[in-house]
Chain A
Amino acid sequence: MTTVVLSRRYLLAAGGSFLATGVSGLLLPARAEGLAPTDSMAGGANNYRKGAPIVERIGKGGFWMSGTVRRAGDGAPLAGQRIQIWAHTTEGQEHEPQSHGATLTDKDGSFRLEMPQIIPIFGQPHGHLTYDSGEFKTVFLRPVMRSAKDKSLEAHFVLQPA
């Protein structure tokens, strides 16, 4: 038969270790998980069309959309991921099919797709991108250009398992 002895020293030690792990666990979740996943942006999914084809370039080109895709936590680059891109350009409005296209990331997790010049729509020159293949959680991004005259725009994804 064992008797549980709740000595003062035992309680202090147990309580202290609980506080140490519990409090640090609550306060520092980011450190435990590493690189945080990217959240979808407000309005990012607007005028999205499911399943745009993978293309060499959208329309006649002249503007570059580029970025990276990494895994949440360890930040490892994700190769072969499909990224869909659309925007209001000199060749069509946001909702029109010819304004949409997709591309795949290379072995470094980078992507780059040529598309027509983005022009301001609804008061801001901006593009739309999504990862929507299902293996990771869907993310919609809506980066804004610093100037409407810019010839390129970047967006970066950190994905978490679905």
Chain B
Amino acid sequence: MRLAKATLIWAALATAICVPIAAAAASPLLAWRGPIYILAGFAGIIALGLTLIQPLLIAGYLPGLSAYRGRRVHHWIGGALVVAVVVHVGGLWITSPPDMIDALLFASPTPFSPFGVIAMWAIFAVAFLALFRRRLGLRRWRIVHISLAVVIVVGGVVHAMLVEGPMETISKAALCALIFAAAIKVMTDLVKRMRATSRGESPAR
């Protein structure tokens, strides 16, 4: 029973991330794009997928991973998220420098660009601050990280939904809805637990 539940959770997660990637890989638009542009686009889709894994890992919702392992993997995936975003932005820069520069300077005509750029800076900020999380102290680090995570999730999801590209609409919307749901659930639980701790009660776990 437990094994069945674990298998189901992992299978659902794999489906939520792999179906949009597979659907995008089947897009006819790819025929008219160069390899660097295609790589840049898929780096963006992978970054979106990683955004779903992150809250599930840190909250311990993924079966088979201890709290310690979950946290370790969360750190590694955070690093992978930074790499994916760098590949996404770098590849788009090579594909069309003026369009990427417009986006980074918030001068782009496309409404989705500022959402993506703000999410990018929030991702970089979390990665940078994570190096100093011990010095910040757990409570302060959590407040900073949760706030930036809200920016990352909202920015990333709005960015992805507004882009018209190789991603198939329904699988993209489903992935985005799951990201929202996971982030809201994990954050509200964590905030509740932080409030309980600050009131001096033992954390409800």
Contacts and interface: CB of A to CB of B under 8 A. Distances in A.
Interface of A: 41-47, 88-90, 93-95, 119-125, 142, 148
Nearest to A93: B34
B189 interface: no
Contacts of A44: 109
B98 A123 contact: no
A124 B95 CA distance: 15
B112 interface: yes
Interface string B1-44: 00000000000000000000000000001001010000000000
16 contacts: A41-B109, A42-B107, A43-B102, A43-B109, A44-B109, A46-B98, A46-B99, A95-B96, A120-B29, A121-B96, A123-B112, A123-B113, A123-B163, A124-B109, A124-B110, A125-B164
A120 B167 CA distance: 12
Interface string B138-167: 000000000000000000000000111100
Contacts of B162: 123
B204 to A, nearest CB: 44
Given A42-B102, A46-B96, 10 more contacts: A43-B98, A44-B109, A88-B32, A93-B96, A119-B32, A120-B29, A123-B164, A123-B165, A124-B110, A142-B109
Contacts of A121: 96
A44 B109 CA distance: 9
Contact of A122 (B32, B34, B92, B107): B92
B109 to A, nearest CB: 4
Contacts of A47: 96, 98-99
A124 B98 contact: no
Contacts, number: 52
Contacts of A122: 92, 96, 99, 110
Given A43-B109, A123-B112, A142-B109, A94 B96 contact: yes
Interface in B141-200: 162-165
Contacts of B163: 123
Contacts of B29: 119-120
Interface string B107-136: 111101100000000000000000000000
B164 A148 contact: yes
**Which 7 A-B pairs rank lowest in CB-CB distance, beginning with the nearest?**
A46-B98, A123-B163, A42-B109, A43-B109, A120-B164, A122-B99, A123-B110
Nearest to A125: B164
Nearest to A92: B32
A141 B135 CA distance: 51
